[in-house]
Amino acid sequence: MAKPKPVSETYRERRKAKSVSEMDGLHGKSASDKRMAKSLSELDGDERVIATAEQIVFSVDRLDTTHDMLSILSDFDSRFSLKIGRLQAHLEERFRSAQELVSRWAPPTANARYYLQAVDEIQSLVANAYIRDDMLERAQSVSRVAMDRLVQELQHSLRRHSLLPDTKWLYSRLSRPEDGGSAFNKEDSASEIVSLEDCQNVGLLLDLVRPEVVPDIRAIAKRLIAGQHDQECCRAYADVRKEFLDETLRQLGLEKLSIDEIHKTSCGPLEGKIKKWTQGIKIAVRVLFPGEKKLCNQIFQGMGLVEEVCFSETCELSMMQLLIFSEAMVISCRSSERLFRTLDMYETLSDLIVDVDSVFSDELISKEASNIVVRLGEAAEDTFWDFANSIERDDSKIPNTWDAIHPLSRYVMSYCGHLFDYSKTLLKLVQRKHPNNLNNPKAYHDPVARIIDSDSSDDESNTNSSLSEHLLKVLEILEWKLKENSKLCKDLPLAHLFLMNNIHFIVQKVKDSSELRAHLGDGWVKEHCGQVRQLATNYQRAAWYKVLGFLKDAGLYRNGGFSGGVSKGALKKRFKRFNAAFEDIYRTQKTWTVPDWQLREELRIFITEKLVPAYRFFVGRYRSQWDSERHAQKYIKYTPEDLENHIMKLFEGSSGSVDYRQCSKSFL
């Protein structure tokens, strides 16, 4: 460490210099001066004038105090001393009346203006070159009392007249509405641009202190600075303003949290805190801090550094506190659920960087903020690339019901949907070059990253296509994961139904989103529609193959040929079995669910088309085998219409159709 003694050294030097000048001054009354003064009184006429002039010239060379001149002149001629005496008396009178005002002044009856005038008077006396030493000391003493009083006064009136901004009003200045439900709404981003415009000036609209008092506070501050009490002035000002700023931020829901606390906060509450943060930091940087800056300017303009110091001491700590929160987010676990929140924070903070730069002149704050923006971006980007892996790693339990949409499907599709709300930001992030891509351990064993890195370039269409690749990969892994999952289902028809439902859900989501459709292409949609059909067929085969088998002629004839005639016993048995099998399927599959009504309808029709005509034909062919209708009805329990009605009741679910919006982890 360097020797830290410059201050004391210069101090000592200056002290030395000062004492030299003091010795030379008339206050010190050096020996030569005394001799000269003495010899002067012994001279007469012209000589006396010349000697005095010489003395003055000599003094001018060495000294700069008017006091000394006056002293020389009063020695020269009694008229001077008379004048000087009168001047002193006048000063004394000025001092006394000012002193009286300062010491006897008592608010609220007294007028503050007179007090300030008296302070000015005292200050000007302290600075007055003609003032005698004893009066200077008294004036300084009175000035000190006055300064103390003014510091208190400053603090008092600031505290009394500071206004807490209305949080509702502050929120109303924000682009996004308070309820987060529509935070991903496209229309919002349009309205954001509009309100950003007037956000720039909101800070200037904000009155943090009653405007009518501001000139008074400025008047007090002026005296404090003039009285060289700038440090006390800054402390008093910043202490009070910081209190109010803290309180405002607290009312905006910005808590003081340690990184550890944020780290331990579970997902749900953290979402809330992040939302509060993104709103809060916008309000702070665009409204509150500029408001503080305006106030500092109104009060301290033209008073040198004080304006800047007061502002930074009021606001910098709060800014740092806000940044600590985002720091904690960067550090905390990078789960894909956090991606969009991280992107929110990234977008918010990178939008604000310009404002931070303009509000804070301290480079460190700006650097800190842009540093965090970079790391938020990295965190978001990493999470983005890692998403496919996170699906692969997903170990959510076997679903309770196999017929519903798997939470993973909802989750992934919700992710894909939201991706486009952030596509601009994401593209910007993905576009950034990785100079160390070769050394990137991620690229080494991450298939997705490898695919995309292999053709990464600055070209936007390329990046765009890398987004498509990402989507394709994500959906591919999702499908694979769903298939793996379906293998765990013991009931084969149900496994097919599960896959059909989920793939259909995915296709539907893609169809509903023009961006997704554009990125994945019509070919993808067509292919997956085909897959849904295939799965429906698979299901129908697995579920109904046996039942349809009962409607075949084979095995009903004696001697194995048509010529042998129908075996009544076999026929009876056949119908019995058919009825039992059908009822069995009906009973179980009535409780299964196909959440999408259209798909449900289509599937029922599909089954009906397969089953009912075959049944109708079968019944028509063998009804005549019974002697009487009564007999026949005993075995032919269902008319084809009955079957159709039953089939139309399939897949309703045990408790009606499930509202799937209620049961999944979501990005919102």
Question: Of 446 and 602, which CB lies nearer to another protein in the complex structure?
Answer: 446
For residues 479-493, one letter each, b for 16 or more C-beta atoms within 10 angstroms of the residue's C-beta and e for the rest, the string is: bebbeebbeebeeeb
Q: What is the DSSP secondary structure assignment for residue 656, as one 8-state letter? A: B
Answer yes or no whether residue 251 interacts with another protein by CB under 8 A: no
Contact 474, 416 (CB under 8 A): yes
Give min distance, CB of 230 to another protein, in A. 9
Query: Contacting another protein (CB under 8 A), which of 48, 132, 161, 242?
Result: 242
Answer yes or no whether residue 255 interacts with another protein by CB under 8 A: yes
Query: Contacting another protein (CB under 8 A), which of 252, 295, 330, 380?
Result: 330
Give min distance, CB of 309 to another protein, in A. 10
Q: In the range 159-188, which residues lie near another protein by CB under 8 A?
A: 159
- DSSP helix/strand/coil, 621: helix
Query: Contacting another protein (CB under 8 A), which of 116, 147, 199, 535?
Result: 147
Cα 107 off chain centre by? 46
- C-alpha dist (Å) from residue 323 to 32, 264, 360, 664: 67, 18, 14, 32
Amino acid at 74: S
- C-alpha dist (Å) from residue 338 to 58, 285, 393, 626: 82, 24, 16, 70
Q: What is the DSSP secondary structure assignment for residue 648, as one 8-state letter? A: T
Contact 396, 314 (CB under 8 A): no
Question: Of 369 and 467, which CB lies nearer to another protein in the complex structure?
Answer: 369
Question: Of 108 and 181, which CB lies nearer to another protein in the complex structure?
Answer: 108
Number of residues located near another protein, criterion CB under 8 A: 79
Answer yes or no whether residue 110 interacts with another protein by CB under 8 A: no
With CB under 8 A as the contact rule, which of the stretches 92-100, 117-125, 378-386, 405-413 interacts with another protein? 378-386
Question: Of 323 and 619, which CB lies nearer to another protein in the complex structure?
Answer: 323
Question: Of 262 and 497, which CB lies nearer to another protein in the complex structure?
Answer: 262
Answer yes or no whether residue 432 interacts with another protein by CB under 8 A: yes
Answer yes or no whether residue 66 interacts with another protein by CB under 8 A: no
Question: Of 370 and 657, which CB lies nearer to another protein in the complex structure?
Answer: 370
Question: Of 246 and 357, which CB lies nearer to another protein in the complex structure?
Answer: 246
Answer yes or no whether residue 436 interacts with another protein by CB under 8 A: yes
Q: Specify the DSSP element, H or E, that contains 468.
A: helix 460-486
Q: Which of 412, 401, 616 is nearest to 495 (CA)?
A: 401
Answer yes or no whether residue 148 interacts with another protein by CB under 8 A: yes
- DSSP helix/strand/coil, 456: coil
Question: Of 374 and 529, which CB lies nearer to another protein in the complex structure?
Answer: 374
Query: Rounded distance, CA 442 to CA 600, Å?
Result: 43
Give min distance, CB of 511 to another protein, in A. 31
Answer yes or no whether residue 367 interacts with another protein by CB under 8 A: yes
Pattern 298-327, binding to another protein, x per CB under 8 A?
------------------xx--xx--x--x
Query: Contacting another protein (CB under 8 A), which of 30, 41, 200, 371?
Result: 371
Amino acid at 598: Q
Query: Rounded distance, CA 326 to CA 333, Å?
Result: 13
Answer yes or no whether residue 15 interacts with another protein by CB under 8 A: yes
Query: Contacting another protein (CB under 8 A), which of 257, 525, 581, 658?
Result: 257
Q: In the range 637-666, which residues lie near another protein by CB under 8 A?
A: none
Give min distance, CB of 235 to another protein, in A. 7
- CB half-sphere exposure, 54, CA atoms < 13 A: 11
Query: Rounded distance, CA 452 to CA 469, Å?
Result: 7
Contact 349, 394 (CB under 8 A): no
- C-alpha dist (Å) from residue 511 to 50, 519, 522: 110, 11, 9
Q: What is the DSSP secondary structure assignment for residue 458, as one 8-state letter? A: S
- Cβ neighbors of 635 (< 8 A, separation 6 or more) are 571, 572, 575, 576, 579, 626
Query: Contacting another protein (CB under 8 A), which of 331, 354, 488, 570?
Result: 331
Answer yes or no whether residue 394 interacts with another protein by CB under 8 A: no
- CB half-sphere exposure, 613, CA atoms < 13 A: 5
Contact 123, 109 (CB under 8 A): no
Residue 162 dihedral angles phi and psi, to the nearest 5°: -70, 145
Question: Of 373 and 647, which CB lies nearer to another protein in the complex structure?
Answer: 373
SS (H, E, C) 489-531: CCCHHHHHHHHHHHHHHHHHHHHHCHHHHHHHHHHHHHHHHHH
Question: Of 449 and 547, which CB lies nearer to another protein in the complex structure?
Answer: 449
Q: In the range 438-467, which residues lie near another protein by CB under 8 A?
A: 439-442, 445-446
Question: Of 390 and 608, which CB lies nearer to another protein in the complex structure?
Answer: 390
Query: Contacting another protein (CB under 8 A), which of 161, 210, 235, 428?
Result: 235
Give min distance, CB of 353 to another protein, in A. 13
- DSSP helix/strand/coil, 278: helix
Answer yes or no whether residue 64 interacts with another protein by CB under 8 A: no
Answer yes or no whether residue 601 interacts with another protein by CB under 8 A: no
With CB under 8 A as the contact rule, which of the stretches 85-93, 212-220, 227-235, 522-530 interacts with another protein? 227-235
With CB under 8 A as the contact rule, which of the stretches 96-104, 237-245, 405-413, 567-575 interacts with another protein? 237-245
With CB under 8 A as the contact rule, which of the stretches 7-15, 464-472, 618-626, 631-639 interacts with another protein? 7-15
Cα 653 off chain centre by? 43
Give min distance, CB of 127 to another protein, in A. 15
Query: Contacting another protein (CB under 8 A), which of 393, 397, 487, 661?
Result: 393
Residue spans of alpha helices (H) in 128-185: 133-161, 167-172
Query: Contacting another protein (CB under 8 A), which of 47, 166, 178, 261?
Result: 261
Question: Of 345 and 607, which CB lies nearer to another protein in the complex structure?
Answer: 345
Query: Contacting another protein (CB under 8 A), which of 389, 534, 588, 664?
Result: 389
Answer yes or no whether residue 374 interacts with another protein by CB under 8 A: yes
Query: Contacting another protein (CB under 8 A), which of 212, 260, 458, 627?
Result: 260
Answer yes or no whether residue 428 interacts with another protein by CB under 8 A: no
Among all chains, which residue has been given the structure tokens 């593209």?
Answer: 427
Widest CA span in the chain: 172
Answer yes or no whether residue 239 interacts with another protein by CB under 8 A: yes
Answer yes or no whether residue 189 interacts with another protein by CB under 8 A: no
Residue 632 dihedral angles phi and psi, to the nearest 5°: -60, -45
Answer yes or no whether residue 57 interacts with another protein by CB under 8 A: no
Answer yes or no whether residue 240 interacts with another protein by CB under 8 A: yes
- C-alpha dist (Å) from residue 454 to 118, 237, 442, 447, 466: 79, 58, 13, 10, 10
Answer yes or no whether residue 143 interacts with another protein by CB under 8 A: yes
Work out the burial of residue 156: count CB atoms within 10 Å of its CB; fewer than 13 is exposed, 13-18 middle, 19 or more buried. middle
